[in-house]
């Protein structure tokens, strides 16, 4: 028998299944050869080492931002600032990669640290505003995304831009700063190791340390936390610092791992995707791995679909929209949970 | 054929998604043209029941019938369309708008592209004349007295065509004169054929104007009566009384030195009348001091002052030699204070965290509970299992989410946490409210054990049985002051206690001053 406590997991699975089914239905309408198109969408991402590589490469930044957002959501902070921080940390990291010369060992470490610390400091601003004056963190973080993008673009245009390059991109980063390739035949880089370590550390931090306990209690019921003697103001600021650090690390790693020049002239979208990953992962750090891989998988599938068949990759937005809608719709399948709760209450009496 | 009641709820159960069972198999019926009282303690399920009638919540099980027809309200708009209106305890008005603006909000009469204010004023004036609810149509809400605002609320409901009015504790905020006026108006509405649901826990008022009464306790109805047929005592027994009278044998022992010292504490919100007025008392080691009183006479504010939730009071509060004012909750707790809060959902627990997590909130930061960087998981699990066994908590294990437990089991966890590790002072606020008899007994026994161990205990309760049996001495609060002090709770007659609680009899200053020990 299903218990009410498994409800969230079952619900997430049901949401994924429904959105995939819906995708198939739409493909069946749009495509001339629906079975082939569905096969491409489902199996092309695992058809070759390089395609599997694509999935993992795309999952790395999603894991970083997903992990960052998980921490914030866990504390009941609806902060979507990972987007701007991810972008801006990329600028900081590439500046160091371009302008500072040092040995191959320390160069990426310095660049990533600089990006991460910048991220932490930037993230602290909405955090402090929220904790001290209860300023809505959603509003401040979204505004910060625009501000950081504007400033970042200014740096790219006026400080980093290589006039010799054909596109609007920076000077070449020094090879000493770039991350090493991990698996030949793919572009999977050492950032993968870094993100897995981060996820494990965050997992232990959240579930096994007293600071993680404070964070979870603050998120679960701030009144209870305060009643218990937890300084929730401090907790909220610290969580913002850590979340910003992770998002900043993600932006730096992405730039150093996947590019030779900084060339984002628009926000890359990984920060907002992080919120989707966090939703799918049910705010559980370890589940971020699976959620990010799933999201990367359907995106690579959609890319391949647009190359090999007659359905465009924008199709993927429909799946994502359905997932977000159903997962955040509290009422979805709630009748079922109520029934289970009633049953359990009946046993109790 | 029997005439069906105006409104009927059959076997209604409401379980919130966090697992709280607010109403269980409730039956409720409303006859046309009556004033029907719903009484019950906080948390008895009155407001959930009304929210379901008004479409704010949907029943998990059971049906609602209006005029014999089954109805399903998805939103308050549905309920309003069916002629049901609600006057909330906290007014839903726009302070910067005028009376007319508020009354017509959402249903403005239109002339061309503009609001037809002339017509709006006419409608408002007509309505207020018809129901004898005198108001100033163009006055701003923020300039009105509380009683006036309430009239506007009632008019707002009436203009939307309500013939069933739900009033949620309408007199809680009114002065006695305003209350009298409200009652005249309500009787007028009744004459006009309106039906009124009157939620209250002031029994005198219920006796005064209601026809029938439904008594609720712990999410269930305890009975429906003609008001004329029941005495206030019978109502109060059904509201708070117990079937099993609890008796405890207490050992006699001399209390030790004072632990909590409260001196001349007064508190008022802005410039309103003082909620606490020169309160002084002490609690000594191994002593249980009970505070009784009708709800809303300053008990809640006193607890807030003692637990650091309000700090802008005057006077002096100290644990041992340490003054409490200006300290954080952590510092107050470090002085040895434990606190069982009245509202276990709001403050006492984190519903979507596990039982273990809820048990360790007082201890997690101490060295003994950590191993290097990490929490000592083995110790936490052992501690949780031990407490679950000791308090006979019905659950699947320490990892179960506390929100899934029944109210009584949840409360046992709160008590287990606050009573462990020898606190110097325990503040127990309604420790057994909404809890079954078995759990209540267990909690009482634990409090008596703590007394034996030398803990100073402040017990605040609306349950007279509990407060008379468990306390050593008893203070009664009325109107923000102590109205009586009984040095031996066992000797107190319920009648005397009732008189003191209702402000009919007062002890003199000298008698009350005996509550201060040096």
> Which of the four pLDDT bands, split at 50, 70 and 90, describes residue A48?
very high
User: pLDDT tens for residues A17-43?
Assistant: 888 898 889 889 888 999 999 999 999
A304 lies in the same domain as A316: no
Least confident of A167-176, B229-238, B378-387: B229-238
User: pLDDT tens for residues A67-113?
Assistant: 999 999 999 999 999 999 999 999 999 999 999 998 888 999 999 99
What residue numbers bound the domain in which A335 lies?
1-31+312-349
Residue B144 has pLDDT above 90, yes or no: no
User: pLDDT tens for residues B53-108?
Assistant: 999 888 888 999 998 889 888 888 889 999 999 988 778 888 888 888 888 888 88
User: pLDDT tens for residues A101-137?
Assistant: 988 889 999 999 999 999 999 999 999 999 999 999 9
A233 lies in the same domain as A110: yes
Residue A322 located in a structural domain: yes
Distances (CA, A) of B242 to B288, B441, B442: 21, 12, 15
* Predicted local distance difference test score (pLDDT) of residue A347: 45
A2 lies in the same domain as A57: no
> Which of the four pLDDT bands, split at 50, 70 and 90, describes residue B173?
low
| CATH annotation of B244-336+423-518 | 3.40.50.300
- For A341, which residue in chain B has the nearest alpha carbon? B19
Residue B167 has pLDDT above 60, yes or no: yes
Residue B437 has pLDDT above 60, yes or no: yes
Local structure of B266: helix, strand or coil: strand
A291 lies in the same domain as A321: no
Residue A1 has pLDDT above 50, yes or no: no
Report the C-alpha gap between B219 and B225 in whole angstroms.
Answer: 18
Residue A15 located in a structural domain: yes
User: pLDDT tens for residues B467-501?
Assistant: 888 999 999 998 899 999 999 988 887 777 877 87
Residue A338 located in a structural domain: yes
Determine, for residues B350 and A217 on separate chains, whether the beta-carbon distance falls below 8 Å.
yes
Those residues with Cβ within 8 angstroms of residue B509's Cβ, 6 or more apart along the chain or in another chain = none
More confident residue, B505 or B141: B141
Residue B421 has pLDDT above 90, yes or no: no
pTM: 0.76
A290 lies in the same domain as A323: no
User: pLDDT tens for residues A134-162?
Assistant: 999 999 999 999 999 999 999 999 989 99
| Residues above pLDDT 90, as percent of chain B | 36
Report the C-alpha gap between B266 and B309 in whole angstroms.
Answer: 15
Q: Is residue B377 within 8 angstroms of chain A, CB to CB?
A: yes
B362 to chain A: which residues are within 8 Å by CB? 228-229
Residue A212 located in a structural domain: yes
Q: What is the CATH number of the domain that holds A291?
A: 1.10.3470.10
Report the C-alpha gap between A170 and A191 in whole angstroms.
Answer: 22
Beta-strand ranges (E) seen in A59-165 are none
First-residue to last-residue Cα distance in chain B: 73
A175 lies in the same domain as A282: yes
Residue A269 located in a structural domain: yes
* Predicted local distance difference test score (pLDDT) of residue A65: 97
A284 lies in the same domain as A316: no
* Predicted interface score ipTM higher than 0.90: no
A73 lies in the same domain as A221: yes
User: pLDDT tens for residues A232-248?
Assistant: 999 999 999 999 999 99
Residue B382 has pLDDT above 80, yes or no: yes
The mean predicted confidence, pLDDT, of chain B is 87
A4 to chain B: which residues are within 8 Å by CB? 19, 404
Determine, for residues B17 and A217 on separate chains, whether the beta-carbon distance falls below 8 Å.
no
Residue A42 located in a structural domain: no
B377 to chain A: which residues are within 8 Å by CB? 208
Region for A43 from its dihedrals, namely left if φ exceeds 0, alpha if ψ lies in -120 to 50, beta otherwise: alpha
A120 lies in the same domain as A102: yes
Determine, for residues A210 and B365 on separate chains, whether the beta-carbon distance falls below 8 Å.
yes
Report the C-alpha gap between A198 and A201 in whole angstroms.
Answer: 5
The mean predicted confidence, pLDDT, of chain A is 91
Residue B333 has pLDDT above 50, yes or no: yes
Residue A36 located in a structural domain: no
Residue A39 located in a structural domain: no
> Which of the four pLDDT bands, split at 50, 70 and 90, describes residue B244?
very low
Residues of chain B with CATH 3.40.50.300: 7-240, 244-336+423-518
Top mean pLDDT of A188-197, A300-309, B21-30, B307-316 is at A188-197
Residue B41 has pLDDT above 60, yes or no: yes
Residue A341 has pLDDT above 70, yes or no: no
Name beta bridge partners: B312.
Answer: none
Number of domains chain A contains: 2
A63 lies in the same domain as A152: yes
Mean pLDDT of B314-342: 92
Q: Is residue B346 within 8 angstroms of chain A, CB to CB?
A: yes
More confident residue, B283 or B296: B283
Name beta bridge partners: B338.
Answer: B426
CATH 3.40.50.300 fits B7-240, yes or no: yes
Mean pLDDT of B259-282: 88
Determine, for residues A217 and B333 on separate chains, whether the beta-carbon distance falls below 8 Å.
no
A338 to chain B: which residues are within 8 Å by CB? 15, 17, 60
Those residues with Cβ within 8 angstroms of residue B292's Cβ, 6 or more apart along the chain or in another chain = B461, B462, B464, B467, B474, B475, B476, B477, B497, B500, B501
A287 lies in the same domain as A332: no
A176 lies in the same domain as A101: yes
* Predicted local distance difference test score (pLDDT) of residue B243: 46
Determine, for residues B364 and A334 on separate chains, whether the beta-carbon distance falls below 8 Å.
no
């Amino acid at each position: 028998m299903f218990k009410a406590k498994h409800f969230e997991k079952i619900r997430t699975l049901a949401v994924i299944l429904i959105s995939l089914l819906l995708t198939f239905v739409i493909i069946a309408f749009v495509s001339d050869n629906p079975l082939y198109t569905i096969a491409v969408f489902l199996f092309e991402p695992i058809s070759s080492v390089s395609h599997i590589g694509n999935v993992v490469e795309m999952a790395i930044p999603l894991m970083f931002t997903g992990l960052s957002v998980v921490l914030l959501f866990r504390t009941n902070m609806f902060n979507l600032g990972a987007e701007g921080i991810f972008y801006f940390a990329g600028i900081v990291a590439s500046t160091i990669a371009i302008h500072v010369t040092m040995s191959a060992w320390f160069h990426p470490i310095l660049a990533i640290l600089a990006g991460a610390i910048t991220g932490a400091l930037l993230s602290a601003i909405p955090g402090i505003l929220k904790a001290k004056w209860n300023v809505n963190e959603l509003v401040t973080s979204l505004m910060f995304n625009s501000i950081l993008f504007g400033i970042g673009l200014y740096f790219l245009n006026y400080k980093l831009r290589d006039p010799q390059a054909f596109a609007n991109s920076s000077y070449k980063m020094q090879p000493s700063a770039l991350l090493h390739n991990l698996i030949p035949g793919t572009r999977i880089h050492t950032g993968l190791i870094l993100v897995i370590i981060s996820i494990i550390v965050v997992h232990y931090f959240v579930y096994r340390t007293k600071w993680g306990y404070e964070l979870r209690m603050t998120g679960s019921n701030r009144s209870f936390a305060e009643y218990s003697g937890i300084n929730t103001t401090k907790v909220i600021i610290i969580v913002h610092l850590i979340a910003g650090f992770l998002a900043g690390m993600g932006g730096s790693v992405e730039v150093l791992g996947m590019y030779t020049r900084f060339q984002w002239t628009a926000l890359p979208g990984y920060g907002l995707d992080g919120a989707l990953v966090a939703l799918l992962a049910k705010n559980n750090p370890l589940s971020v791995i699976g959620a990010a891989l799933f999201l990367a998988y359907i995106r690579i599938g959609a890319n391949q679909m647009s190359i090999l068949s007659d359905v465009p990759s924008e199709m993927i937005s429909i799946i994502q929209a359905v997932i977000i809608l159903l997962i955040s719709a509290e009422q979805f399948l709630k009748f079922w949970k109520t029934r289970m709760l009633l049953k359990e209450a009946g046993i109790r009496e | 054929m029997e005439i069906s009641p105006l409104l009927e709820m059959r076997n209604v159960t409401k379980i919130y998604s966090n697992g709280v069972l607010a109403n269980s198999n409730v039956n409720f019926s409303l006859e046309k043209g009556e004033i029907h009282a719903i009484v019950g303690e906080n948390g008895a399920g009155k407001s959930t029941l009304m929210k379901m009638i008004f479409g704010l919540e949907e029943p998990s099980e059971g049906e609602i019938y209006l005029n014999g027809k089954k109805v399903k309200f998805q939103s308050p708009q549905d309920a309003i369309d069916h002629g049901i209106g609600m006057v909330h305890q906290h007014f839903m008005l726009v302070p910067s708008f005028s009376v007319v603006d508020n009354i017509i909000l959402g249903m403005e009469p239109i002339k061309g592209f503009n609001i037809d204010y002339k017509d709006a004023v006419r409608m408002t004036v007509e309505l207020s004349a018809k129901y004898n609810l005198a108001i100033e149509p163009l006055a701003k809400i923020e300039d009105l007295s509380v009683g006036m605002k309430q009239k506007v609320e009632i008019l707002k409901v009436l203009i939307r065509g309500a013939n069933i009015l739900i009033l949620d504790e309408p007199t809680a905020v009114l002065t006695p004169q305003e209350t009298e006026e409200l009652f005249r108006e309500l009787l007028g509405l009744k004459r006009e054929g309106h039906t009124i649901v009157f939620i209250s826990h002031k029994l005198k008022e219920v006796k005064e104007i209601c026809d029938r009464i439904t008594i609720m306790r712990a999410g269930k109805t305890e009975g429906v009566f003609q008001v004329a047929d029941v005495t206030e005592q019978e109502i109060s027994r059904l509201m708070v009384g117990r079937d099993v009278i609890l008796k405890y044998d207490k050992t006699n022992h001399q209390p030790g030195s004072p632990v909590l010292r409260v001196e001349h504490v007064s508190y008022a919100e802005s410039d309103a009348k003082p909620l606490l007025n020169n309160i002084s008392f002490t609690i000594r080691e191994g002593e249980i001091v009970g505070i009784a009183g009708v709800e809303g006479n300053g008990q809640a504010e006193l607890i807030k002052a003692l637990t650091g939730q309000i700090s802008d009071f005057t006077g002096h509060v100290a644990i041992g030699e340490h003054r409490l004012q200006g300290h954080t909750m952590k510092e107050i707790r470090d002085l040895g204070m434990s606190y069982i809060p009245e509202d276990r959902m709001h403050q006492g627990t984190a519903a979507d965290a596990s039982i273990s997590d809820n048990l360790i909130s007082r201890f997690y930061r101490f060295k003994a509970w950590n191993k290097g960087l990490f929490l000592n998981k083995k110790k936490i699990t052992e501690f949780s299992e031990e407490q679950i066994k000791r308090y006979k908590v019905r659950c699947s294990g320490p990892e179960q989410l506390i929100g899934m437990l029944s109210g009584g089991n949840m409360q046992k966890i709160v008590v287990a946490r606050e009573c462990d590790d020898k606190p110097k002072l325990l503040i127990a606020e309604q420790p057994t409210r909404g809890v079954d008899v078995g759990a209540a007994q267990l909690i009482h026994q634990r409090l008596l054990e703590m007394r034996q161990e030398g803990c100073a205990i402040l017990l605040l309760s609306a349950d007279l049985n509990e407060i008379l049996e468990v306390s050593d001495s008893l203070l009664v609060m009325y109107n923000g002051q102590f109205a009586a002090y009984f040095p031996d709770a066992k000797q107190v007659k319920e009648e005397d206690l009732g008189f003191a609680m209702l402000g009919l009899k007062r002890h003199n200053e000298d008698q009350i001053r005996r509550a201060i020990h040096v």
